């Protein structure tokens, strides 16, 4: 949640000094400017001690399984619920559930409808406004003040 402290766990020792390093590219400067607006702590653990980071960097043979935990955003449920608020999205959802190729340009994946790759939001103006505002104001991907 925005405004709360979070932890960056790494097995790269040089990242301990991320805030003290000289930035060479515009991308580094922009990324660091956004990161500096947040409350974070960098925790370093050596590869063998850091099982999560170590597992992600390992190559696995066929048949091996590496589990990765994912988070589902809060808005995910709100978007899928918004499909039931309008007749056109309800009908579209039904059609795509039966045949994902039934409507040209539209697809459904994990319960989310997309049109030519773009997320479709149902008839819920409050949700649309909140998504636009969040994406615009977000320090991670929003407006950088320029």
How much is the pLDDT for 113? Answer: 92
pLDDT band of 118, cuts 50, 70, 90: very high
pLDDT tens digit string along 123-146? 999 998 888 887 777 766 666 655
57 and 11 Cβ atoms separated by less than 8 Å: yes
Residue 114 clears pLDDT 90, i.e. is over it:
yes
What's residue 137's pLDDT?
Answer: 76
Task: Report whether 46 contacts 16 (CB < 8 A).
Answer: no
Query: If you ran DSSP here, which 8-state letter would residue 7 be given?
Result: E
Q: CA–CA separation, 20 vs 144, rounded Å?
A: 22
To the nearest 10°, report the CA torsion of 52, 53, 56, 60. Answer: -80
Domain positions in the chain are 6-57, 74-137
* pLDDT cut 70: percent of the chain above it: 75
């Amino acid at each position: 949640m925005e405004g709360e402290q979070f932890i960056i766990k790494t097995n790269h020792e040089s990242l301990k000094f991320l805030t003290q390093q000289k930035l060479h590219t515009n991308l580094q400067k922009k990324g660091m400017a956004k990161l500096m607006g947040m409350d974070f702590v960098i925790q370093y653990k050596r590869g063998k001690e850091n099982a999560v980071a170590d597992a992600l960097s390992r190559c696995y043979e066929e048949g091996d399984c590496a589990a990765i935990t994912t988070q589902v955003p809060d808005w995910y449920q709100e978007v899928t619920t918004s499909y039931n608020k309008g007749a056109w999205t309800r009908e579209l959802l039904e059609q795509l559930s039966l045949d994902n190729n039934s409507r040209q340009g539209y697809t459904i994946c994990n319960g989310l409808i997309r049109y030519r790759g773009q997320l479709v939001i149902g008839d819920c103006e409050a949700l649309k406004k909140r998504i636009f505002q969040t994406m615009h104001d977000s320090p991670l991907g929003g407006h950088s003040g320029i």
